[in-house]
């Protein structure tokens, strides 16, 4: 397959590298020091599943230099979607599709609004992976799972072929006829633990058994469950106890990526997390006070980090 990775960070860089190692023709769209390092030294993967080094790699910051793609792996953060989504149609071959990888539940529809539902596949991704240094990705989790689905709920050969390509490259991957349910189930987990963890700012073992904090976590999950049901998403009846049990099994040192972003002063995907719960809840008349509170606290922290990131970007030009 001819693949373009748009956003070559923790997710795009890691899975793109796996796919390139498996023999696919991969172009990486990147920028800044990470792009320069990839051009100069290739892309180095440090992973619990084995280190490897792709060299040379085809990396560019000019989308027009990417050959028409059968698959675009779209892996920018959610706050970069508005400024990048317009480029996607130009990256695609006539039968090409975009696979979204973002946390949250809105990216697939944002992409479909630009490239069309028939050219959009939604992906749900489980991995812990990040840019450790320019040109270097560190992948830390035993899990590296991708679930792929059509927005209209059909189980199609193309979704199966793309999941098959990820599986052949080493990931756990499957195609599903229920991608909205999968995305919302992950959302219920990540927006709740990410939101509460970003307020508490301690590893999960320090707060999941504190009765008041546990109650807040459960309320944050129940609000997402209520919004999902109002939106017609058929979550499992016991999705909240299932997710609480999963959180109880996490290593006590675990944190979410949003919590790590808060602690590092990076921008946050807060609009796509609690922001989305509040917005979608309002659309269906579902009250979401816990997420409204989380959103109100984290929104200015995100804004401040974005201002700082803008200043640094300006200074490095």
Ligand X SMILES: NC(=O)C1=CN([C@@H]2O[C@H](COP(=O)(O)OP(=O)(O)OC[C@H]3O[C@@H](n4cnc5c(N)ncnc54)[C@H](OP(=O)(O)O)[C@@H]3O)[C@@H](O)[C@H]2O)C=CC1
Ligand Y SMILES: CC(C)(CO)C(=O)C(=O)O
Residues that bind ligand Y (CB under 6 A): 103, 126-128, 190, 256-257
Shortest distance (Å) from residue 212 CB to ligand X: 28
Considering only 26, 69, 73, 128, the residue that binds ligand X (CB under 6 A) is 128
Question: From ligand Y, ligand X, none, which one binds at residue 256 (CB under 5 to 8 Å depending on kind)?
Answer: ligand Y
**d(C-alpha 74, C-alpha 91), whole Å:** 11
- Strand order across the 25-29 sheet: 58-60, 25-29, 2-6, 69-74, 92-100, 120-126, 145-150, 172-176
Collapse the DSSP code of 143 into the 3-class scheme (helix H, G, I; strand E, B; otherwise coil) and give the result: coil
| Extended strands (E) in the chain | 2-6, 25-29, 43-47, 52-54, 58-60, 69-74, 92-100, 120-126, 129-133, 136-139, 145-150, 172-176
Shortest distance (Å) from residue 55 CB to ligand Y: 27
Shortest distance (Å) from residue 170 CB to ligand Y: 16
Should residue 125 be labelled a site residue for ligand X when binding is judged by CB under 6 A? yes
The residue among 216 and 273 lying less far from ligand Y, judged by its C-beta, is 273
The residue among 85 and 191 lying less far from ligand Y, judged by its C-beta, is 191
Question: From ligand X, ligand Y, none, which one binds at residue 102 (CB under 5 to 8 Å depending on kind)?
Answer: ligand X
Q: Give which of 177, 259, 181 is closest to 225, Cα–Cα.
A: 181
> Which region, judged by CB under 6 A, interacts with ligand X, from 25-33, 112-120, 145-153, 169-177?
25-33
Any idea of the CA torsion for 80, 217, 246, 155, to the nearest 10 degrees? -50
- Two tokens at 28? 């990486």
> Which region, judged by CB under 6 A, interacts with ligand X, from 3-11, 51-59, 151-159, 161-169?
3-11
Residues that bind ligand X (CB under 6 A): 7-12, 29-32, 34, 61, 75-78, 80, 84, 101-103, 125, 127-131, 257, 269
């Amino acid at each position: 397959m001819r693949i373009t990775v748009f956003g070559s960070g923790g997710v795009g860089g890691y899975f793109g590298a796996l796919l390139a190692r498996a023999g696919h023709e991969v172009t990486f769209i990147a920028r800044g020091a990470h792009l320069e390092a990839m051009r100069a030294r290739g892309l180095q993967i440090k992973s619990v599943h084995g280190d490897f080094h792709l060299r040379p790699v085809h990396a560019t910051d000019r989308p027009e230099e990417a050959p028409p793609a059968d698959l675009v792996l779209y892996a920018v953060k959610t706050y970069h979607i508005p400024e990048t989504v317009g480029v996607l149609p130009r990256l695609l071959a006539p039968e090409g599709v975009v696979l979204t990888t973002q946390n949250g539940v809105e990216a697939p529809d944002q992409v479909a609004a630009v490239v069309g539902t028939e050219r959009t596949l939604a992906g749900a991704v489980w991995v812990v992976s990040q840019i450790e240094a320019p040109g270097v990705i560190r992948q830390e989790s035993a899990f590296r799972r991708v679930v792929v689905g059509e927005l209209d709920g059909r189980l199609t050969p193309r979704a199966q072929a793309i999941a098959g390509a990820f599986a052949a490259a080493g990931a756990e991957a499957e195609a599903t006829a229920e991608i909205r349910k999968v995305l919302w189930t992950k959302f219920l987990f990540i927006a709740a633990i990410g939101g509460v963890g970003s307020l508490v700012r301690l590893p999960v073992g320090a707060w999941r058994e504190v009765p008041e904090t546990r109650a807040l976590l459960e309320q944050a999950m129940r609000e997402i469950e209520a919004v999902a049901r109002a939106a017609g998403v058929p979550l499992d009846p016991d999705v909240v106890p299932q997710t609480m049990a999963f959180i109880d099994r996490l290593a006590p040192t675990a944190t979410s990526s949003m919590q790590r972003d808060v602690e590092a002063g990076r921008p946050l995907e807060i609009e796509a997390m609690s922001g989305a719960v509040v917005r979608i809840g309002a659309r269906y008349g579902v009250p979401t006070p816990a997420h409204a509170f989380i959103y109100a606290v984290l929104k200015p922290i995100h804004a401040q980090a974005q201002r700082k990131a803008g200043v640094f970007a300006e200074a490095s030009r």
